[in-house]
Amino acid sequence: MNARKCFEASLVTLFLLVWACPTVSADVSQGEVIDKTNWKQAEGLLPEPVLDWVKKGDLVLHVGRLAYDPKDYFPPAARASLEPNRGKYDLDPNSLVIDTETGKPPKFVEGIPFPDVAPEGPRAAEKIMHNRNYYAYTQGNVRLPYDGAWVSRNTGYDRDVQCAWMQYPLTGHGPARSESNRGGIERFSILQILAPFDIAGTNVLLWRFLDERKDNTFAYIPAIRRVRRMSPANRSDAYIGSDLCVDDAWGFDGKISDFEWKVLRKQEGLIGFLDPSPQALEKNALGEWHTTGGMKPVAYGHQKEGWQGAPWAPTSLLWVKRPIYVIQFTPKDPYYNYGVQEIWADVEVPAVLAFKVIHDRAGDYWKTLWMSYGGFKSADDSMRLFMSTSIVVTDDRTDHSSVIDLANPKYLQAVYAVQDRNDYSLGGFQKLCK
């Protein structure tokens, strides 16, 4: 009996001690290196698949702090729009931007349409995603050449491709206001494959509309030297043998109204940055702003001798704790290859989409896309903006990744680029592909 009373007293004492002690949550500090020995410190700060990579030793995180405030790196048109656009726009039932006074889609939106988004408010997720699109549009026409690499755990580096992304928005930035837009175009874009020879010219053209019309997507097929119309569902098919689909461009390149959205929560999370300091921008004789040959590159595991982690893992990024929206979205099209997806987006900088966790249509986890970023500014400080510096898609079923290397000093990434709009017509696109 005495033994039983002692046992019960011990249980009570243990309960009181546990209750009285504060719960210790996972956290990281500047200067720490998070790896498989202390991965629990990053618990909750990363999506589960990414945390598993750290736990297995595939990925090592060097935690630090930026030497600049990302909120100060809005392009001039985006920064100037924040006050005038407050309360000016809303969304219709199809998740399309409308003018609050007229209830109709505006012919032109300059800057960020939704400067104040309450995560618990109506249509918050869709507004966050529209802000992300329009942040890109405030950079005007873009021309972004880059390298892509196929990387496998078993074989390491497999092959690479040379690509270019071109975009021509007809909304979002001032110069576009004077352009004819009788077709109600939101933007044009072209994804080009430049090399190697066997797939060069396998290019994709997009016309996205301001209204509820579905995207017009066209593909040039070198084997038949013809342009073919793509179904919207084709945008979720694997592209040129990679782990990405066309809608994976820049993290998410689908039409917002084609998905159901909701904000799950607001929290802190870790985001990969190219460097603690901003990189340089220069202006050329045409008035284009572009990166320089002095841009810091991203180093990957397969390039580093003695690296024990995954060959696709970046080894040179700085991981910074940032406020995050976790957003869930589901395709309306039952033939779309992806099922539920989850995005981790920066609260303060619309450009930054850190992670996208992808499930198949059966609801099973499939792969994760994640991106790193950097601030860029001119020497006279007249131009500041955020740009993507790498995109990695890792298919955990095949143990294979596709790496998009954007922070490459041999290429100049240009914004406010001078382009020929005729390249985005069907005739111009076909000529561009030959």
Render pLDDT for 272-302 as a digit per residue (tens, 0 to 9): 999 999 999 999 999 999 999 999 999 999 9
Read off the pLDDT of each residue in 94-107 and give the average, rounded to a whole number. Answer: 93
* pLDDT tens, residue by residue, 149-195: 999 998 888 999 999 999 999 999 999 999 999 999 999 999 999 99
- What per-residue confidence (pLDDT) applies to 224? 77
- What per-residue confidence (pLDDT) applies to 19? 38
* pLDDT tens, residue by residue, 320-367: 999 999 999 999 999 999 999 999 999 999 999 999 999 999 999 999
pLDDT at residue 48 above 80? yes
Q: Is residue 65 a part of any domain in this protein? A: no
Q: Is residue 99 a part of any domain in this protein? A: yes
Q: Is residue 342 a part of any domain in this protein? A: yes
In this prediction the pTM is 0.91
Range in 120-124, 152-156, 190-194, 307-311 with the lowest mean pLDDT: 152-156
CATH number of the structural domain spanning residue 165: 2.50.20.10
pLDDT at residue 15 above 60? no
Contact between residue 317 and residue 339 where contact means Cβ atoms under 8 Å apart: no
Q: Is residue 24 a part of any domain in this protein? A: no
pLDDT band for position 17 (50/70/90)? Answer: very low
- What percentage of residues in the chain have a pLDDT greater than 70? 94
Q: Is residue 29 a part of any domain in this protein? A: no
Q: Is residue 188 a part of any domain in this protein? A: yes
Q: Is residue 8 a part of any domain in this protein? A: no
- Across 210-219, 223-232, 318-327, the highest mean pLDDT is recorded for 318-327
Its domain, for residue 361, covers 70-433
- What per-residue confidence (pLDDT) applies to 434? 73
- What per-residue confidence (pLDDT) applies to 25? 52
pLDDT at residue 4 above 80? no
- What per-residue confidence (pLDDT) applies to 197? 87
Q: Is residue 10 a part of any domain in this protein? A: no
pLDDT band for position 1 (50/70/90)? Answer: very low
- Mean pLDDT for all residues in the chain: 92
Q: How many domains does the chain have?
A: 1
Between 22 and 393, whose confidence is greater? 393
